Structure 1
């Protein structure tokens, strides 16, 4: 009767020693050398952070976009929605903080931009409501009859309107602080 011998064990501490192949054509072959180390590859560039000018530009773009979205929401629902104002402020602050870093001017500018974006969104919403009522386009109402739109805003403004402005500004300030951390 033939006895089987155990497979040879690699030399202790040598990970490149001969391993049992047991029919595996891809197993380590005797005397094989380890693969050469990969050539030096530069690390991918880090995302742009700490660039205050870029943070300000992105915050302005975010303010314009979110003002339009908030205006569409106000115009479609004919209501001011507080969560939307918080979202406007937070997105502006997030954009400024992520790309602008922790510069102390960014939260303040984000809050001011948020005030403008929420106000502009409310004006756009009023223009949309006026366009539905009059049959004119929103752009015609907003550009040619801007005085009527602002007068309608000032007549409709109540305590809740100013609360939404303040909450949006607070969300922008805190969003910029948190995004920069």
Structure 2
């Protein structure tokens, strides 16, 4: 006697849910969001350094996270976004360090920030930054870019 195989009744199992469609996103919106996040993060980074009178690596991580998350969440999975957010994060950390330098110059000379920007200018602030920079300044730049790249990739997933 042979037994015949009987498949399970259709109601005894459930189908797997269809995978969520991949988000193509909007690259332009992602880059715009990353630029805005970079500007905000640069100001916050410089302000935090000025308030505590030193640099903190966690702040550079925060800059990278903010820029990367903004790019990935609003821009989607486009492979350009992690690279763009890393570059913008490098710029934001650098701009934050320049902002910190400008605030210190304003304090030392007892003038306003606008006076420093008018008289010293971005070029002069850059020269001051180069003279006073050390290895940690470059490490913080790298940390911000690295974190931003990873955050953009993970946020888009």
Give the aligned partner of residue 137 of structure 2. 161
1:139 to 97, 104, 114: 114
Q: Which deviates more, 144-153 or 51-60?
A: 144-153
Contact (CA 8 Å) 2:106, 2:116: kept in 1 or not?
A: yes
Tell me whether 1:91 sits opposite 2:92 in the alignment: no
**Residue 49 of structure 1: CA displacement?**
6.8
SS in 1 for 2:77: coil
Q: Establish whether residue 61 from structure 1 lines up as the match of residue 33 from structure 2.
A: no
Deviations 1:103-137 (A, max 9, x none): 00000000000000000000000111111111111
Matched residue, 1:177: 153
1:139: how far off? 2.4
Q: Which 4+ runs in 1 deviate beyond 3 A?
A: none
Question: Looking at CA atoms only, which structure, 1 or 2, has the larger radius of gyration?
Answer: 1
In structure 1, what is the equivalent of residue 124 of structure 2?
A: 148
Cα separation, 2, equivalents of 1:166 and 1:143? 30
1:128-178: per-residue Cα shift (whole Å, max 9, x none)? 111111111112213431233212110111111100000000010000001
Q: Which has the higher helix share?
A: 2
Find the aligned partners of 1:123 and 1:160 in 2 and give their Cα distance.
15
Contact 1:49 1:99 in 2 (8 A): no
1:107 is aligned to 2:79 = no
TM normalised by structure 2 equals 0.81
| Residue equivalent to 2:92 | 117
Give the 3 Å change call, closer, same or farther, for CA 143–121 of structure 1 in structure 2: farther
Task: Return the alpha-carbon distance in structure 2 between the equivalents of residues 81 and 180 of structure 1.
Answer: 28
TM-score by length of 1: 0.71
Counterpart for residue 74 of structure 1:
49
